[in-house]
Amino acid sequence: MNLKTKMERTSKSFCHWQRKAFGCLIGRRERKISGVMESTLKEMRNGESVLDMTDERGVGGGVGDIYGEDRATEDQLLTPWSFTIASGHSLLRDPRYNKGLAFTEAERDAHYLRGLLPPVILSQEHQEKRLMHTLRQYQVPLHRYMAMMDLQERNERLFYKLLIDHVEELLPVVYTPVVGEACQKYGSIFRRPQGLYISLKEKGKIFEVLKNWPERSIQVIVVTDGERILGLGDLGCQGMGIPVGKLSLYTALGGVRPSVCLPVTIDVGTNNKHLLEDEFYIGLRQRRATGQEYAELLDEFMSAVKQNYGEKVLVQFEDFANHNAFELLKKYGTTHLVFNDDIQGTASVVLAGLVAALRLVGGALADHTFLFLGAGEAGTGIAELIALEVSKKTKAPVEEARKKIWLVDSKGLIVSSRKESIQHFKQPWAHEHEPIKELVDAVKAIKPSVLIGTSGVGKTFTKEVVEAMAALNEKPLILALSNPTSQSECTAEEAYTWTEGRAIFASGSPFDPVKYDGKVFIPGQANNAYIFPGFGLGIIMSGTIRVHDDLLLAASEALAGQVTEENYEKGLIYPPFSNIRKISAHIAANVAAKAYELGLATRLPRPQDLVKYAESCMYTPVYRQYR
Ligand SMILES: O=C([O-])CC(=O)C(=O)O
Ligand SMILES: [Mg+2]
């Protein structure tokens, strides 16, 4: 079969599949089809497989308007489906392939762009410079967020180029803390859907709804039900900003291709009175469905995901409330490839920081005593991973290792004699002790060397609490992990000032360096963004089928291993985010190595050099040339 015939057949079957599966409305003038046929033929000749081409949709092929009625058959008018690969105006409107002013003269000729762009031709670097210049003019952080989202919707590669090249500057914009405000105002700033909304209205149809998404080979899903967005509480359907933000980090930080990422928000209502009354709220206007109704929707979703995308799609649960988060992880942990970022990702990143901090504070992990404020997903998740690591290192049973870990919740220190019932995920931490109500008294009684805040409630590490830590320890380790910045247990400045510059401090949201007593202190950011992108890459590249605690420990170990002497000298327990792609490759490699060792990896043969392999798998945002 000659190449052109093959191409036409591919085109036809893709069309058929797209009609069936996607329902994308695409129509083109015939001359444009032939123009693109030529370029895709050339791509094929240049060694790109049909699969790669359809996966990335070749030169174009995105969702466009129905331009081609004049050419459409009667059938197409009744059922408005047709197939083409974008060029001309629709190419400029397709964020995956649009390059804006960077289209070359040859591309402008070949893809019907003449006259649609002003004469100037810019390099990607020049575009990047211009956009950074514009972004920096916005004084309001939310405006920067909106500008970045617009860019993502306009020119995806340029968006990722900016994010990767200016990661330290832009991470707080597309991620915590600004994403928190964006979710709060999502209804007002909503422009285009950036992920799939699955509400109670879609019950019974989720399998088909997933097919409405314009990509078919999905490898990572981040899903939320919006009930506990960061430390901001129930934001219902507006939690969508979180899966969108997390997945953009999968790509920017972990190199996972954007086309294989799917953000999902499950909308079962909200109990947020303010949102229910907000005229701009975008979700279901009802109180949250619970119990069987909730469980059935989730179950249908999880089954549909497996049916559509197979066994190896990674489902990351994000920002579910405690009562569902533990339940879902347990329920689907044995049947699906699931990962809870708030329980497991946070645990892995904090353990890495603690292991690294031993270089600064001395002793082994087993020598330290840990006190948590907050006994939800993050608190109990971190506590358990510390206990597992201590148990592995000391060969003591995990029950023994748990004894030096104490948790305080809203009722005070969790102790076995507590009168009220203790939720199941807190029970391992209910040690024998007399009840204590206040955190500061718990600090004085338990004498921790490490204080970790995961309660989602801001300003709870008061001066008294921090001073008590400083009185007990030469170098108190203080982690204020709650997000966004407004919910942080204390600020970096408070931690350094109240400990007279002796604290080793890290927080969930970023803080600027602090000057105290003539010295500059650089706070660390103990955020799961260090872990999940590389962790996910490791899972995907090795074809791992289940998440195991040892994979989390492997991720921690890899992250701690990336802290350099130079970082330690500055008092840092995390490496800077500017190296994150390299860090992610190391995390991915260590996770994959462990998965192969445990027999969980299905991609064979195992690559020899996993770091190199991870790097070679990573998406880069540099423009492709369209011939
Ligand atoms: O998103 C973040 O910054 C960390 C996180 O998962 C959370 O706080 O829920
Ligand atoms: Mg989260």
Model confidence pLDDT, tens digit, residues 510-561: 999 999 999 999 999 999 999 999 999 999 999 999 999 999 999 999 999 9
**Total domains in the fold of the chain:** 1
Burial 451-464 (b: 16+ CB within 10 A, else e): bbbbbbebebbbee
Comparing 81 with 423, which gets the higher pLDDT?
423
The active-site residue out of 112, 145, 160, 175 is 175
Hey, is 213 helix, strand or coil?
A: coil
pLDDT confidence band for 83 (50 / 70 / 90): low
Structure tokens at 120: 């100037």
Give the ligand 1 atom nearest the CA of 341.
6
> Is residue 284 in some structural domain?
yes
Task: Indicate if the pLDDT at residue 52 is higher than 50.
Answer: no
Q: Is the ipTM of this complex over 0.95?
A: yes
Residues 196/213, Cβ–Cβ less than 8 Å:
yes
pLDDT in tens, 128-178: 999 999 999 999 999 999 999 999 999 999 999 999 999 999 999 999 999
CATH number at residue 265: 3.40.50.10380
Distance 493 CA to ligand 2 centre (A): 25
Q: What is the pLDDT of residue 72?
A: 37
Tell me the average pLDDT of the chain.
89
Secondary structure class of 429 (helix, strand, coil): helix
Q: Is 246 a catalytic residue?
A: yes
Rounded-to-10 torsion of CA 372, 374, 378, 382: 20
Phi, psi of 520 (to 5 degrees): -100, 130
CA 496 – ligand 2 centroid, Å: 26
Torsion of CA 376, 382, 387, 388, to 10 degrees: 120
Q: Which of 246, 483, 489, 577 best tests ligand 1's pocket when mutated (most atoms within 8 Å of CB)?
A: 483
Q: For 451, which DSSP code?
A: E
Average pLDDT value for residue range 494-514: 97
**Distance from residue 534's CA to the centre of ligand 2 (Å):** 16
Q: In this structure, is the dihedral angle defined by the CA atoms of residues 86, 87, 90 and 93, taken in order, positive or negative?
A: positive
Burial of 517 (0-12, 13-18, 19+ CB in 10 A): exposed
Q: How confident is the model at residue 11 (pLDDT cuts 50, 70, 90)?
A: very low
Q: What percent of the chain has pLDDT over 90?
A: 86
**Residue found by looking up tokens 């340029």 in the block:** 158
Q: Write out the two tokens for 559.
A: 């992250």
pLDDT digit string (tens) for 282-299? Answer: 999 999 999 999 999 999
Tell me, yes or no, whether 362 lies in a domain: no
Give the model's pLDDT for residue 145: 98
Q: What's the mean pLDDT in 484-488?
A: 97
528 lines ligand 1 (CB under 6 A): yes
- The closest residue, in CA terms, to atom 8 on ligand 1 is 230
Catalytic residue among 99, 161, 246, 426: 246
Listed in order, strand segments (DSSP E) in 410-503 are 412-413, 450-453, 477-480
Instruction: Check residue 20 and give its pLDDT.
Output: 36
pTM confidence score: 0.88
In a domain, 296, yes or no: yes
In a domain, 104, yes or no: no
> Residue 327: inside a domain, yes or no?
yes
In angstroms, the Cα distances linking 614 to 62, 222, 428, 551 are: 28, 21, 37, 16
- C-alpha–C-alpha distance, residues 529 and 606, integer Å: 27
Walk across the sheet containing 338-340 and list its strands: 196-199, 261-267, 220-224, 314-317, 338-340
For residue 236, count other CB atoms closer than 10 A to its CB: 30
Helix (H, G, I), strand (E, B) or coil at 152: helix
| 54, HSE (Cβ side, Cα atoms, 13 Å) | 16
- For residue 627, name the pLDDT band (cuts at 50, 70, 90): confident
Residue 419's pLDDT is 87
By C-alpha distance, which of 302, 430, 324 is closest to 377? 324
Does ligand 1 lie within 6 Å of residue 527's CB atom?
yes
- Please, which residues have CB within 8 angstroms of residue 499's CB and are 6 or more apart in sequence? 466, 467, 469, 470, 476, 478
The three-class DSSP label of residue 148 is helix
pLDDT of residue 350 exceeding 90, the answer is yes
What are the tokens at 106? 């040859």
- The structure tokens listed for 84 are 């083409």
Question: 484 in a domain, yes or no?
Answer: no
Residue bearing the bigger pLDDT, 627 or 571? 571
31: pLDDT strictly greater than 80: no
pLDDT tens, residue by residue, 416-466: 999 889 999 999 999 999 999 999 999 999 999 999 999 999 999 999 999
Q: CA dihedral defined by 162, 166, 171, 173, rounded to 10 degrees?
A: -70
CA of 143 to the centre of ligand 2 (A): 23
In this prediction, residue 86 carries a pLDDT of: 80
Range of the domain at 292: 177-336
Give the number of the ligand closest to the Cα of residue 349.
1
Is the bond preceding 95 in cis, omega lying within 30 degrees of 0? no
**Residue 399: helix, strand or coil by DSSP?**
helix
- pLDDT computed for residue 76 by the predictor: 42
pLDDT tops 60 at residue 15: no
What would the two tokens of residue 570 be?
A: 């500055």
Nearest CA to ligand 1 atom 9: 230
Q: Are 442 and 469 in contact (CB under 8 A)?
A: no
Q: Is the peptide bond before 605 cis (omega within 30 degrees of 0)?
A: yes
Is residue 144 included in any domain, yes or no? Answer: no
Choose between 48 and 113: higher pLDDT: 113
Binding site membership of 230 for ligand 1 (Cβ less than 6 Å): yes
Residue 342 annotated in ligand binding? yes
Residue 533 contacts residue 586 (beta carbons within 8 Å): no
Nearest to 496 by CA among 527, 460, 530, 520: 520
Q: Which ranges in 277-410 belong to alpha helices (H)?
A: 291-309, 322-332, 346-361, 377-394, 398-401
Segment among 7-11, 252-256, 518-522, 575-579 with least mean pLDDT: 7-11
Output the CA torsion 320→324→328→331 (10° steps): 180
User: Which distant-in-sequence residues (6+ apart) come within 8 Å of 152 by Cβ?
Assistant: 95, 159, 194, 248
Please tell me the distance from the alpha carbon of residue 232 to that of residue 459, in angstroms, as a whole number. Answer: 14
Please tell me the predicted confidence (pLDDT) of residue 81: 55
The 3 state secondary structure assigned to 253-305 is CCCCCHHHEEEEEEECCCCCHHHHCCCCCCCCCCCCCCHHHHHHHHHHHHHHH
